[in-house]
Every structure is written in structure tokens, then in C-alpha cells.
Chains A and B, each alone.
Chain A
Amino acid sequence: MGFKIMPKSALVDWVNHLRAGYRVVGPQPRHGQYVFAEINDPADLALDYPTSVLPPKQYLLPPREVLFNFQNSGMRIEANIKVEPTVILGVHTCDMHAIRLLDHVHNNGYADQHYQTHRANTYLVSIECLKPCMEHSFCKSMGTLTVPEEFDLHLTDLGTAYTVDIGSEKGEKLLEGFDQVWEASDDDYQLLSRVLTEKWPRFSYRLDFDVTELPDILNLSQKSGYWNELGDRCLACGMCTKVCPTCYCFDVSDNVDLTLKNGQRVRTWDSCQVEEFALVAGGHNFRSKRALRQRHRFLRKGKYQYEAFGMVGCVGCGRCAQACLVHITPVETFNELYRRSQRTEPAEVKA
């Protein structure tokens, strides 16, 4: 299938066209940053946003979600799966890789019906990243600077127009009945080719090693003193996990009303960084120290998930680094662990 062209001047009309049939969400400015939120006025849409506070995972895995309603009398349970066809505009390629990982997790083993329903009703319109979005991103090092195949439509900014790559039938549906889009010409292809070629030198490799070495580096660093240094700094505020596009841990609670007759089972985003996360029955906490929790976080991203899914759990978006008040960043952590792993080798040879 060939590329289409949509002039930028048609964007507002297209968003309005979509809003007739879908909930349309996208990046919008808020207090000097950007958040994904429902677009009520297409003028608010900022497709050239740097990054967002929360990743778009909030539409696939809502921060707080009622799983089912129950009535104690008669033990009645009624599933609660909210179906709301949603178009997410402007998903960066790192976040697309994150959704790929979330798909894998929620479609395999115990398939998650709520996630699957949201996912089936979500239309992903990704956008090519043409320059680094902020100081903390390191997508080029993580191999997430090109879009994976999960997109429905993929946009590339050519200056006065977007190329539109159609990735699925769902993507085709988003263009149905909209007439301000046409086949790309040879000139458009040439321009696209130039834009895509020129973007790569703008991004730098920020890891001092190849990402395929990451699981080994982390494996060798399990007893590193660096974790204690991080633990001393860490506030255990959990923001790193909340803003992470691949974190999906949740807690579940049953909440009844004052009559004690009706209730809801609710799941809420949880965080491995908070005190009670690894607290188990009997009162034992197997990660009671902040250092252990930070180690768990980085090993999970860089080693455990790679071993389990063949995908590194960090996509290099840089949100955790931006959110962290004490400047714990994955780039510095991974590089420092790499440097220390290099340093110990000569010492061991000497001994």
C-alpha cells in the first residue's frame, strides 16, 4: 500500500471528522508540559510535543479501573468492560514499542480481557520522531526510533503536509469519508526519503555499550554497591513507575458501599518502589530497602523482561528521568554499571 499525503491545513478537519465517530485523544499543553487528553478543540492538539507526563498506556490500562460489580445477595457478579472506540493521535515510536510489549504481556498467559477490549477499540496514530524530544530520551540506543508494525496510521511531518502510512484496516477506517488526503507523488516520496535520512544524525547514541549487552551487564551488577547509592538518594515516591510506558503492575481491591450489599472490584496502578509492594502475608517484606527496589526496577526493565519476552522493558523515552526529583536516570545508571563492570575485570586478573 502506498503512502498518502495530508496537508497540515486539513488536520483540524480530520480531527473533527474523527470526533464524530470516536473519542479522540492526543498531546496537549498543560502547565508548561504536555499531557494526553481528550481533544475537545482540535486547536489544542500539539503533534510536535516533546514528551507527555503520562504515556498513552493510560487508555489501555486505566490508572483506576472497575473490573466488575458485585452484589453480595445471591453472589451476583457483572463484568464491567467499558468499550469506547478511541483514537490516540501522535504516539511517539518509543511508546509504540512500549505498547508492543504491553500487548505481549496482556495477550499471553492469563490474557487480560479488559486490556484486550481497550486495545481492540484503540486506534493508534503514531508519528515519526524527527529530532530528540528532550534531554533524557535515548531511543536511538534502545532501538526504538523507528515505528514497530503495531501502528494503524503513521504520520511523518514533511513541513507543510504529513505523509500517512496505513498500517491496518483499522487505519484505513480512520481515513474513510475524508477527502483531504491523496496518494503521495514521486516528489513526496523523495521528500520523505530525505526527511527520514536527515533525522538520524540528530539523535546520538547515549549508552556507552550496545543494548544487547544490557541483560549481562545487569546480571553482573546484582551485588554492586551502586544500588545502595541509588537507595540513599531515592525518595521511593514511585513516579518513575507511574510515568513508565511499560510498567503495568496493579493492585486489586474490593470496595463495598455503606449498605454492604453492593461493591466493585477495582484495580489501580501499583508501584514496585513503594514500601508495601513486596509485603506479603505474615508481615515479611522481601524488598524492604529502597536500594533493593531500585535494583529490582532496573533489572526488570533491562534483564527480566528481555528474558521473558525477548523485548527490553525500557524503551528509552526518558520520562522516569524527567520525573525523578533526585536525578536517578536510566542512562546514567546503565552507563555507570557498565563502567563499574569494566573496572572490576583488570582487578580480578591482578588478584
Chain B
Amino acid sequence: MAKPKIAFFEFTSCEGCQLTVVDSLQDHPELLDAVDIVQFREAMSEKGEDYQIAFIEGSCSRPGDEAKLMEIREKADLVIALGACAHLGGVNAIRNRMPLEDVRKYVYGDKAEWYATYPARPISAVIPIDAVIPGCPIDRNEFIRAVTYLLQGRLPYIPDNPVCIDCKLKGNVCVYQRGMTCLGPITLAGCDAICPTYGEGCDGCRGLISAPNIPALRTVLAEHGMNETDIEAKMTVFLTYQRMELEAAGHDS
């Protein structure tokens, strides 16, 4: 069987997910025997345009991004969103609830009009995608698992579990009982609960589980000392786009 040709692309992002792909080679150098990487600006100079699988990092935050996304979709058999920006709009989507003019001025000052930015969206808002590898950044083990699935001719599968499942499999003391707060109960697992394991509450970088009980978690956060403003801020970092979609559909957010 010929090795699948894969390519990496980035839009609005920090490219940390692609760095994590490079990082995954430390544990899994055999990745280079399993696939043929034809384009990966983060790691090589060659730039092939013939690829079957496209991994896309970053959100779509400018009108000019759309044509490139469509071109990739056209060329690739499979398009995989790589990381929170491509999957959820990422932290870039925090601005979606703010007046765009203010945001541009805040970031670009008197050059604001030079930059044609608009609300940040996940790439799935622009082109159909086949799978996501969530996280900020992605989990390198999950990336390898996803590639293995693709090599088997399957789409990557992520169980619809909240982070609490991963966390309790590790036997962690709940961060709520350590005086902290956490979005783990509404956030998709698969990260091995890395943040709670190292003593930090989950910020929701992997996005929501399919049926999150957000009102109940708001009550929990309030019971643990957070006021409305802080709760809103916590749920804004990574979840803005998904929550605005829930609101548009008339659901609790």
C-alpha cells in the first residue's frame, strides 16, 4: 500500500499544534515511515501540492482565508482540523462577542484599517471537515492515535466523555476539592486530564461534550466562589463559538 501523502496548513493560530506534531516524532519516529509528508512549513522547505490528507491548524479570521481553505478542501480527500483554533475558533473567538472595530483598534492601533479581520470561526464553518483533533495544543498521543486510525481507513474517534472520566481514571483528587474550579464536567476528554493532573482546573480547550449541562456547572462554579463575571470569563476562553451556536439554537449556554 502506498503511503498516504499528508500536508499541514495553518491559519490564525500560534502553530503550537504543528510543533506538537514535530514533538510526537520523539516518541514515534516511525510516523515518518508510515506517511509521506509533502508540505509542512513548520518543519520542512519542500512544498508539494499533491496530498490526500490535510491537517489544518488555525481559525478562519479573515475573508481572505476562505479561498485557501476551499482550495485545500478541493485537493484533499480528508480534511482534519488540528487543535482548538481550527476546531472551535480557539482563543481568537473571544472577540466574537465584542465590537469588531474596538478589537481591531486594540490590537493594531492606528493601523486598524489595514487588517480585514472578522469574527473568528472554526474551519468547519467554511468547509466540510472529516474529523477533529481537539486541544490547545493537541495531545501528541492523540495525534498518533488519529493517524493510526486514518492508516486503517477509519476516521479518528474520540469517546464522548467529559474530562472527569480521564481524571478519575488517573485517581486524581478533584481540583474543586483543592479549592480551584474546573470546566472538566462539560469538556470533551481525551487529554488524559493533563491540566487537573498537574494541579490546574480545565479551561475547556477541547470543546464541549455533546450534551453538556452548562446551567448545572454554572451553579457549581458559583458555589465555589465565582461571580457571574468570572464564570462568563472562564467559559469564554475556548468555548465562545460553541456557546454562541448553542444560544442561536435556543439552548442554555
A271 to B, closest residue via Cβ? B165
Chain A interfacial residues counted at CB < 8 A: 38
Please name the residue on chain A nearest to B164 by beta carbon. A237
Chain A binder among B60-68, B100-108, B216-224, B243-251: B216-224
- CB of A234 within 8 A of CB of B213, answer yes
CA of A259 to CA of B220, assembled, Å: 45
Alpha-carbon distance A234/B28, docked complex (angstroms): 40
Contact B160 A275 (CB under 8 A): yes
Residue of B nearest to A274 (CB): B161
- Contact indicator B176/A58 (Cβ below 8 Å): no
Contacts A258-B144, A274-B161: A31 and B169 contacting too (C-beta < 8 A)? Answer: no
- Name the A residues within 8 Å of B162 (CB-CB): 235-238, 274
Chain A residues closer than 8 Å to B28, beta-carbon distance:
258
- C-beta contact mask, B45-72 vs A, less than 8 Å → 1, else 0? 0000000000000000000000000000
Known interface pairs A54-B171, A268-B169, A323-B174. Does A239 touch B151 (Cβ–Cβ under 8 Å)?
no
Cβ-defined contact, A53 with B34, below 8 A: no
Interchain CB contact (< 8 A) of A275 among B34, B209, B217: B209
A287 CB to nearest B CB, Å: 12
CB distance from A23 to the nearest CB of B (A): 16
Using A257-B148, A258-B144, A326-B219 as known contacts, say yes or no to A53 and B171 having CB atoms under 8 A apart. yes
> Closest approach, in angstroms, between the C-beta of A189 and any C-beta of chain B?
39
Chain A, range 43-78, C-beta contacts under 8 Å to B:
53-54, 58, 63-64
Determine if A32 and B173 form an interchain contact, defined as CB atoms under 8 angstroms apart: yes
Which residues 216-263 in A have Cβ within 8 Å of B in the complex?
232-239, 242-243, 251, 255-260
User: Nearest chain A CB to B182's CB is how many angstroms away?
Assistant: 9
Q: A31-B178, A274-B160 are in contact. Are A235 and B172 (CB under 8 A)?
A: no
B148, B171, B217: the one contacting A256 at CB < 8 Å is B148
* Chain B residue at minimal CB-CB distance from A259: B30
**How many angstroms from the CA of A33 to the CA of B210 in the assembled complex?**
32
* A35 located at the interface, meaning its Cβ lies under 8 Å from any Cβ of chain B in the complex: yes
With A58-B171, A274-B165 known to touch, is A235 a contact of B186 (CB < 8 Å)?
A: yes
Main secondary structure of the interface of A (DSSP, over half): loop
Instruction: Flag whether B191 is at the interface (Cβ < 8 A).
Output: no
Interface range on chain B (Cβ under 8 Å from partner): 35 or more
Q: What string of 1s and 0s marks CB contacts (under 8 Å) between B200-225 and chain A?
A: 00000000011101001101100000
Measured CB to CB, the closest approach of chain B to A231, in angstroms, equals 9
- Mark out the residues of chain A between 26 and 48 whose CB falls within 8 Å of any chain B CB in the assembled complex: 30-33, 35, 37
Inter-subunit contact A276/B159 (CB<8 Å): yes
Contacts of B174 in A (CB 8 A): 53, 239, 323, 325
Contact indicator B152/A242 (Cβ below 8 Å): no
Are B31 and A325 in contact, with the CB atoms below 8 A? Answer: no
Interchain CA distance A326-B209 in the complex, whole Å? 18
A275:B151 contact, CB within 8 angstroms = no
How many whole Å from B168's CB to the nearest CB in chain A?
3
Is B83 positioned at the interface, with any CB of A under 8 Å from its CB? no
A334 on interface, CB distance cutoff 8 Å: no
**B184 near A: Cβ within 8 Å?**
yes
The answer on a CB contact under 8 Å between A325 and B169 is no
Is there contact, CB below 8 Å, between B165 and A242? Answer: yes
A325 touches which of B170, B171, B173, B176 (Cβ 8 Å): B176
CB distance from B69 to the nearest CB of A (A): 28
Contact (Cβ within 8 A) B213 A325: no
Cβ contacts A268-298/B at 8 Å (1 or 0 each): 1101001110000000000000100000000
Known: A260-B148, A323-B174. A275 touches B164 (CB 8 A): no
Q: In the bound complex, what is the Cα–Cα distance between A180 and B21 (angstroms)? A: 57
Task: Please indicate the chain B residues that have their CB under 8 angstroms from the CB of A233 in the complex.
Answer: 213, 216
**Contact indicator A54/B178 (Cβ below 8 Å):** no
Q: Check if B185 is an interface residue, CB within 8 A of chain A.
A: yes
Taking Cβ atoms with an 8 Å cutoff, the residues of B that contact A are 28, 30-31, 33-34, 144-145, 147-148, 151-152, 159-162, 164-165, 168-174, 176-178, 184-186, 209-211, 213, 216-217, 219-220
New contact pairs (12) apart from A235-B185, A256-B152, A326-B220, CB-CB < 8 Å: A53-B168, A63-B169, A64-B169, A233-B213, A236-B211, A255-B148, A258-B28, A271-B161, A275-B160, A275-B211, A276-B161, A325-B176
Q: Which residues of A contact B (CB under 8 A)?
A: 30-33, 35, 37, 53-54, 58, 63-64, 232-239, 242-243, 251, 255-260, 268-269, 271, 274-276, 290, 323, 325-326
10 sampled A-B residue pairs with Cβ under 8 A: A31-B173, A31-B178, A33-B173, A53-B168, A235-B162, A255-B148, A274-B165, A275-B209, A325-B176, A325-B185
